[in-house]
Amino acid sequence: MKTGLTAKNVALMAIFAALYYVLSLIAPISIPTGVGNLDISFAALFAAVIGLVLGPYLGTASAFLGAFVAWVLPPSSGNLFGLPFLLSPPLNALVTGLIFYKKWKFGFAIFGALMLAFLFTPPIWPVTENWLPAVAVLFDKVIAIVLIIPVALFAKKLSIAKASLFYFLLFFIGNEADNMWGSFIYATPPVYGLFLTDLSNVRLAFLASPFLYPAIRIVQALIGMLIAVPLMQALKGTPWLWQKENILSLGKDQQAESQVPQPTNPE
């Protein structure tokens, strides 16, 4: 698959954006808990699939197009409250695609920059006084960003041992990046002002996040894994993927080594 903006790539972007919109019409799985409901959105987890197939750039554009269409058309119908969070799915696709296509340092930097920026938002700054909501929001994000390194460096070993484990971790990271944007943008004055809330209520909402959001991301990662394992196996070696070479493919030296005829035992 050519990585430029060809007619085929534009068509694929449109197809995946349409699939995103269709999935957004499916009501989320709602699991009641003691502190609220776990709402598992199929569209949100599909953004990571888009990043895997279309790559970090085409995938980001496609996820944004799908999220924008889902926001404009019914049932959202341009609801103003959903506008600030339109970048969550594209960020999921971007980080997932960057890691999968061997550009993980950029994904790490983007994720880390968002986490750092969050610390300077009004509900959190100064951190010395508001460290509890900061920890409540960031503890699972810290786990996710740290996981990028072993996932990137030991991807082949992870996938050989258990392909499902690799995709689960990758989807968990992507979904946490999605949630990081949501937390960051909600902590900005124009957005929490849109919701007619104040700093104390924002901090209170953040304190509830450890009980809900990590569980949501884990379930989304599990569902995404069940989709990704057979899908990526089916697409392996086809022109549908953004690039032939990804984090799971053999390097040139390994490919050459694998093609060298092995000596036969004369006995």
154-165 pLDDT, tens digit each: 888 877 667 889
Q: What is the pLDDT of residue 107?
A: 97
Question: How many CA atoms within 13 Å lie on the side-chain side of 187?
Answer: 27
pTM of the model: 0.88
Cβ contact 163:229 at 8 Å: yes
- Say what the pLDDT of residue 63 is: 96
Below-70 pLDDT ranges, the chain: 1-5, 27-39, 160-161, 250-267
Kindly report the CATH class assigned to 7-248: mainly alpha
pLDDT of residue 205: 87
Q: According to the model, what pLDDT value does residue 29 have?
A: 67
Burial class (CB in 10 A: 0-12, 13-18, 19+), 196: exposed
Per-residue model confidence (pLDDT) at position 90: 96
Query: What pLDDT is recorded for position 217?
Result: 87
The pLDDT score that the predictor gives to residue 32 is 53
